[in-house]
A = this chain, B = another copy of it.
Amino acid sequence: MRDSNSIFLHYITRIIIGLCALMMVPATSWAEAREFDMSIEDTRIVLVGKRDFHTFAFNGQVPAPLIHVKEGDDVTVNVTNMTTLPHTIHWHGMLQHGSWQSDGVPHATQHAIEPGDTFTYKFKAVPSGTMWYHCHVNVNEHVTMRGMWGPLIVEPKDPLPIEKKVTKDYILMLSDWVSAWAHKPGEGGIPGDVFDYYTINAKSFPETQPIRVKKGDVIRLRIFGAGDHVHSIHTHGHISQIVFKDGFPLPNPIKGDTVLVGPGERYDVILEMDNPGIWMIHDHVDTHTTNGDKPDGGIMATIEYEEIGNDYDFYIWKDKKFVPDFYYEESLKKGFGMHNSEVFKGEFIEE
């Protein structure tokens, strides 16, 4: 069965594979060394209305700055703790090959960073995908309701075909808060707590923002379970294609209209914008759409098409002041690096 033709084909194939391998930019030219300085600050943020919280904020903002790097980059982060309580940073999803003491777990991989101290994390950005970082000290308080989390996006060397179609990229970090502890830093996040505020990127509806698109866009929603509860994110009018879990491609994308997201998980959902209108995106856990004891709040936002506009007398966001970068969509376009975002800045608290 192996005639001269098939042998020829065999060699040609090997040559092509070889050429392709060469064309896959060699590691030295793709990956880079990056170094960032980060502080942790006592701040006050407002979730919605008058509902404010004392937070421990990376670079003074909640959520924390976008860290956007390339797969294989050598990342160094110098973290200085300016608060009055100990902290660490866990780089959730990073494999930390050969760098376990940069994994950021107090009592397991390091001493917590005491107030005033600086600690340096060094790790290789592997694997690629939608990752995050958060404090690992007293997670029940610091992660749950002090805003100590932010996105770490590791750009793949070799993106999936479907990723290449994406025209707009958004980050949605979901959290749950307990008002009773709002102004008691160092306490809270315990069994029996009543979680009464629910947020996307630390804001509750109507303080969230519309996602503005036009027909033909392909949007990627990177949804993070950054808090204590399970969320069930329903997008109206479009097919939600779940493509990645925790940064890894699913064996096959899963279609649906509702995405269940557990604490710590991330799902990347890709949707084709083929249906001009105003569309809700919200948590289908009904009590997560309240602010305290009031309905119509929490984890809700809309998708707005420019073809349709927003000038409808029934539309609650008819006169909404649009704040760009609320979903990090501007930061994500800035190229690689650490990007602070004015929109997430809190008010510094002096001791």
Task: List A residues at the B interface (Cβ < 8 Å).
Answer: 1, 90, 92-93, 95-98, 100-101, 103, 105-111, 127, 136, 138-141, 143-144, 189-196, 225, 227-228, 230, 232, 234, 236-239, 245-248, 250-258, 260, 262-265, 274-280, 284-287, 289-290, 292-296, 302, 308, 313-317
Q: Which residues of B contact A193 (CB under 8 A)?
A: 287
Q: Are A285 and B228 also in contact (CB < 8 A) when A248-B255, A258-B246 are? A: yes
Q: Which residues of B contact A275 (CB under 8 A)?
A: 95-98, 100
Q: Which residues of B contact A290 (CB under 8 A)?
A: 140, 189-191
CA distance A143 to B286 in the complex (A): 8
CA distance A315 to B97 in the complex (A): 19
**Nearest B residue to A196, CB-CB:** B191
Q: Which residues of B contact A105 (CB under 8 A)?
A: 236, 280
Whether the Cβ atoms of A93 and B189 lie closer than 8 Å is no
Whether the Cβ atoms of A314 and B194 lie closer than 8 Å is no
Whether the Cβ atoms of B100 and A308 lie closer than 8 Å is yes
Q: Are A95 and B246 also in contact (CB < 8 A) when A251-B253, A286-B139 are? A: no
CA distance A192 to B275 in the complex (A): 38
Whether the Cβ atoms of A232 and B264 lie closer than 8 Å is yes
Whether the Cβ atoms of B108 and A316 lie closer than 8 Å is yes
**A and B contact pairs by CB, cutoff 8 A, 10 listed:** A96-B277, A139-B295, A190-B196, A191-B194, A191-B196, A191-B290, A192-B196, A193-B287, A250-B254, A251-B254
Interface of A is mostly: loop
Q: Please list the 9 inter-chain residue pairs (A to B) with the smallest Cβ-Cβ separation, ordered nearest first.
A: A100-B277, A264-B284, A251-B252, A246-B256, A107-B316, A191-B196, A248-B255, A260-B262, A232-B262
CA distance A263 to B279 in the complex (A): 19
Given contacts A100-B277, A190-B294, 6 further A-B contacts (CB under 8 A): A109-B278, A140-B287, A191-B290, A192-B196, A251-B252, A257-B264
A162, chain B: closest CB distance, angstroms: 14
Q: Are A315 and B107 also in contact (CB < 8 A) when A100-B278, A279-B100 are? A: yes
**Nearest B residue to A93, CB-CB:** B257
Whether the Cβ atoms of A108 and B237 lie closer than 8 Å is no
Q: Which residues of B contact A255 (CB under 8 A)?
A: 245-246, 248
CA distance A247 to B239 in the complex (A): 11
A88, chain B: closest CB distance, angstroms: 11
Listed residue (A101, A189, A190, A276) with the most chain B CB atoms within 10 angstroms of its CB = A190
A131, chain B: closest CB distance, angstroms: 9
A139, chain B: closest CB distance, angstroms: 5
**Nearest B residue to A206, CB-CB:** B107
CA distance A139 to B308 in the complex (A): 26
**Quick one: which of B96, B110, B287 contacts A144, CB cutoff 8 A?**
B287
CA distance A115 to B166 in the complex (A): 44
Whether the Cβ atoms of A295 and B141 lie closer than 8 Å is yes
Q: Which residues of B contact A263 (CB under 8 A)?
A: 232, 258, 284-286
Whether the Cβ atoms of A236 and B289 lie closer than 8 Å is no
**Nearest B residue to A103, CB-CB:** B236
